[in-house]
Structure formats: C-alpha cells, structure tokens
Amino acid sequence: MTHTSLITIPGPEVLEELGVRRNLLEDLALRILYLEGELSLGQLAEKMRLRLPIVEGIFQHLRKEQLCEVKGMTGNLYRIVPTSQGKARGQESFSVNQYVGPAPVSLSDYVNRVKAQGVRKVVIRPPDLRRALEDLVLDDEMLKQLGTAVSSGTSIFLYGPTGTGKTAIAMRLPRIYQDQVWIPYAIEVDAQIITVYDSVVHERMDPNVPPESDGRWVLCQRPRVVAGGELTIEMLDLQFDPLSKFYAAPLQMKANNGVMIIDDFGRQRIRPEEIINRWILPLDRGIDFLTLAGGKKFGIPFDLFVVFATNLDPTKLADEAFLRRIQNKIKVGWVTREQFHAIFRRVCKHLGLTYDAAVVDRLIDVLTEELKQPLRACYPHDILHRICWAAVYEDKPPRLDPETVAQACRNYFLSP
C-alpha cells in the first residue's frame, strides 16, 4: 500500500489564519475560565489547542473589554481570571452554547483536509488485501474482486445467504489501510459548533507531534464506523443536543477518509428506501449536504468506502438507479468442501484442538446428506465453540471426535 504521509499540520500563528469568528473564540475562552476559575495563558492555550500568540491576542481583547484580568504570573506568563462582568458573559454564553473544548476548525479547512487525505488516494496492492484477510479462507477470484472494490474507494455490496462470511469480510476490510488521517475535534459552521472526533469511533495515535502542529486536529487510524439494525435516519444527519446547544457529526461524517459498514442492510429500523434516498447523491457525486437547525445547508466531502452487507435479495432492497451507483457487487456464497476443511483447520488451531480430517469429512456428509444443509463458512466456528463450551462445563479438555461433533450439532441445529 502506498500513501502520502501526513506527519503534521502547522498551527496558525495569528487569529486571522484560523478562519473562525473571533467572538466565538472569546466566548469559548470565557466559558473555560468560568469553569476553571484561574488559568495561566499557557494552560488556556492548551485547553483551546491554540498557539500561545493567538490566546494572548484573545486575552488582550478580553482584558480591554474588562472581561478578564491578571491575577499573577506563572514564569513569564500571566495567570488570568474572569472579572465579574466576564463571569456574567461566560454564564450567558452557556445559555447559547455549552461547548467547552479545543477550538473548532473552519469548514473550509475541514473540507480541504478531507480532500487531501482522501480514501481514494490510497493505492491498494494484493499483499495489503491478503494481510487484512489472512484469517479468512477466500479463493483468488474473491480476493481479486475485493481488491478491485477497495481500490475504487467508493462502495461495495456484499450479498448472499446467511452464514457465508459477509460480515466477517466487511469487518476486516478496514485493516487494509495502515496509514493515519487527521480528524478535527470540532468544526465551526455559521457560528455553530459541530463535534467530529469521537473516541468511540476514532482510534487515536500518539505520535511525537511537533509543538508547532495544530492541536485542534487528532491523528487517528482511518475511521471504521459500523451500523447495524440500530441505524436510524436521524443518525445520518447532524445531531443537535437541545441541552448543550451544539451538534455532533453524523455517522458518515465521522467515517470520512475511512470505511463505513452497514451490516444486515434491509433489517434496519428504517426502510431501505430511506437510506437509499438519503445517500443516492453523496454516493454519486462525493458530496453530502447537511442542515443546521436554522435551515442553513452546507456541503462536506463524502469521502468514505461504504460497505453494504445483506442476506436479502439486493433487487428487492433497492431500485436499479441506486444499485448502479454501488460500484461493486460481490456475491458471497457457500464454501467448497476443501474450503470447509481449511476453515476447520484454522479454527482448531486457534482453539487449541487437534484437527482430524476424517471427523470433518463425516461432519460434511451429515450436514449435506442428513441435515440437508449447505456448507456455510460459519459452521466450523460455531460447532467448534460448542465443543469447547461443553468441555468447560464438563471440566475436561476439549477434543474433536465424532461424539463431541454430534453433540454440538444436536445443540446447534433444529431437529427435523
């Protein structure tokens, strides 16, 4: 895999370079001071993730307006506190916006950064794919299809019967990307703050970032966002908190420059048509439009690799126009007898069981001839885990033999 290394983002030296409204930053500083009581300029700069000269400029303006004053010194830096007037304005500011954290970046800076580190700019090679999917048993044709799909940086539809490994494949695709991207803590749009960095979604890196780097950005692994049956249409739009009075980014915005997986597509709490209608333009044009509570619309890049995984018939989930915009469609079907053996060997090794080909051959015959079941990729994992669970209960070492396999099947399959 080849990519452009993004080592650092130079931090702006003067307030005008931030592209963010001065009064928004002043209110943010006052809210922080209101909560903290007293801070040195260095501590305030650290909390706002801004260079010291910018915070000194904000302080001087607040001091001129008699909203804060000098309490003492820490080294050669002022220790400052809000005045009674400053406390009143800080308290008033909380009624408008309760965000207290790193200063936001401008919308234009965010757009430019997302474009600069676009997922489509990553060059994927066969070794990258094999490494990411090394614990799965996939034939060369499937690997080639998946590699071509990921190289597109657009979207993929994984479909086929249940238990064939669609989710397992989808969850491993983000492993392909071994580089990092910059995620902002928050952005500012029309004097509104939208938080983007999410510690649940974004895996933060801890590199030796130079002190001159812009602290409003967090270096992370490329994002991986997973949504299943809990997905609602509201999750795909800005989330406004009426109590805190600021926004959280929608799922696809948090996934920008990374991968978004919609598992069990068609089984969400919303109809597939709603997701389709919401995303037909972003998938086609690479731009998503979001709306603030006041009605203002703005565009952001839709730069993510979207994975739809479903065991339903795609033609019954979406119309031809939408399916045409899904650039890659891959059917994941039953495994062959040889693949079933290969999966069994891997799971046995993982669980510390001794693999026995004869026992597996007998299991395959039982599945296909007696139980009339296809060979699903999930069966080795599910059956072997049941053998291990039973061994724990019986307080004896797990073993793979006809008796334990038969017992596992009785506990796993419905009686005919």
Domain 21-101, CATH: 1.10.10.10
Structure confidence at residue 4 (pLDDT): 43
Residue 6 has a pLDDT of 53
Helix (H) or strand (E) holding 81: strand 77-82
**DSSP, residue by residue, 255-283:** TTTEEEEETTTT-SSS-HHHHHHHHHHHH
Q: Which pLDDT score, from 0 to 100, does residue 326 have?
A: 84
Look up the CATH number of domain 112-331. Answer: 3.40.50.300
pLDDT for the residue numbered 5: 44
Q: What is the pLDDT of residue 281?
A: 87
Q: 138-179, pLDDT tens digit by residue?
A: 999 999 999 999 998 888 999 999 999 999 999 999 999 989
Q: What's residue 3's pLDDT?
A: 47
pLDDT in tens, 273-326: 888 888 888 988 999 999 999 899 999 999 999 999 999 888 888 778 788 888
Burial class (CB in 10 A: 0-12, 13-18, 19+), 165: buried
Q: Residues 30, 93: contact at Cβ < 8 Å?
A: yes
What 3-state class would DSSP assign to 155?
strand
pLDDT of the residue at 207: 67
Per-residue pLDDT, 340: 97
pLDDT for residue 186 is more than 80: yes
CA–CA separation, 373 vs 365, rounded Å? 10
Tens digit of pLDDT for each residue in 199-233? 999 999 876 677 778 999 999 999 999 998 888 88
pLDDT band at 416 (very low <50, low <70, confident <90, very high): low
Q: Which residue has the tokens 């885990």?
A: 385
Q: Where along the chain do its domains lie?
A: 21-101, 112-331, 337-412
| Alpha carbons 411 and 388: distance in angstroms, whole number | 13
Q: What is the pLDDT at residue 315? A: 84
pTM tops 0.85: yes
Q: Looking at residues 129-138, what average pLDDT do you find?
A: 93
What does each C-alpha distance from 8 to 181, 217, 219 come to in angstroms? Answer: 10, 9, 9
Mean pLDDT of 56-74: 92
At residue 147, the pLDDT reads 94
Q: What Rg do the C-alpha atoms of the chain give, in angstroms?
A: 27
